[in-house]
Structure 1
């Protein structure tokens, strides 16, 4: 399996391109702010053809480029039903946070938004079969109501021997930390339940590809992540 990841220009949101191999169809996961040039380079380098966009949740820093990516390739965006309404206008809920003013200052123009033409709602436990890949949807609310993780039963080429499966965790779990719950849609109690029931139940040999920051593993986080250790001790 081929997975190429790179951070967006704003907030360091990780965008991932996932494919069975070079020259195949692929999935684009969380195309955030100003990722189009880097995405195009990855597609050219590996001769990949996007088949769908997968969104771990509906926050602006993970969805900003979803419409141009979907539109230019004639593909659908997949999002959990509970975050579907965020694709109508994700700018609105961040208007009072200063994020839009920051984007205007950085890029010299006001942020704009158009909803994707084709949106597919997914639910917990669904199995997606797209681009020759099979992914399980794991609903893990807390960062937003519709936050999900995508689990694949294989790992990218060159992955360490200690891992045998892959978990795209979005803003649920990071290396050494977890997603914030003070943003729109956040719920700390729900996050703790998701960490206990959805994250800690994952096998230790799961490679974790988070929405921000470096890759890690479930085993490593179980042993060192202070939020998980606190849950395990309670």
Structure 2
């Protein structure tokens, strides 16, 4: 991978969600993607790298992806960007989500910037393309670094699986279309960080993922 981006994956919450610390080597500035909780673990990672946090990016509004956002936003005084506005109902419902899943009380919040497909987000000298990828949630977005050939896909796609669609406003057909039309065209060589579990590549998933391999989708 070109030396345009460094990252550390920090599993957080009892759901072991992959919060990702992205670091721009040229400026040593950083962005967090999906800080779902365990805020002190995330702070320790930032300090370990000696990086200056510049922004928080969110793929979607589920609790395990956004639960630490307000604490980190307030601690570092940084803006929050994402997800797409169709996920506002999830973020507005954070207090109820926390209660339902046995998490400590959490406040709702409003991102500083909602994102649309075709937008870009930036920190340091790093620019990430934004793709609107509904299905798991209606306002899910994916972040893609074309230079580093790295995508942060939240709960759209996993190594060997795909995101669940049985939660409010999930849609299985939308998710399959999203993966086929928004992820696969980025290239088989692209590595991706999923919301849970190990990294993989789009090429590996196209060959063997039991839900979205090319051979499976061709039968659909």
Same fold (TM over 0.5): yes
Quote the residue 2:198 is aligned against: 214
* Stretch moving more, 125-134 or 4-13: 125-134
Q: Is the 8 A contact 1:5 1:17 kept in 2?
A: yes
* Stretch moving more, 16-25 or 46-55: 16-25
Deviations 1:175-220 (A, max 9, x none): 0000000112311121121122112222001011101000000010
Residue 22 of structure 1 and its aligned partner are, at CA, apart by 7.8
Q: Give structure 2 stretches of 5+ with no counterpart.
A: none
Aligned length: 213
Considering only aligned residues, what root-mean-square deviation do their CA atoms show, in Å? 1.8
Q: Is the 8 A contact 1:168 1:209 kept in 2?
A: yes
Quote the residue 2:115 is aligned against: 122
1:154 paired to 2:157: no
Q: Is the 8 A contact 1:2 1:22 kept in 2?
A: no
Q: Is the 8 A contact 1:16 1:28 kept in 2?
A: yes
Within 5 Å, give how 1:167-182 maps onto structure 2. 167-182=151-166
Residue 51 of structure 1 and its aligned partner are, at CA, apart by 0.8
Quote the residue 1:99 is aligned against: 101
Structure 1 residue ranges, 4+ long, deviating more than 4 angstroms after superposition: none
Within 5 Å, give how 1:1-234 maps onto structure 2. 1-21=5-25, 24-34=28-38, 36-79=39-82, 80-92=84-96, 98-100=100-102, 103=103, 110-115=104-109, 119-155=112-148, 165-229=149-213, 230-234=216-220
Q: Partners of 1:201 and 1:232 in 2: how far apart?
A: 16
What TM-score does the superposition give when structure 2 sets the normalisation length?
A: 0.90
Q: Partners of 2:89 and 2:46 in 1: how far apart?
A: 29
Distance 1:22-1:5 versus aligned 2 partners, 3 A rule: farther
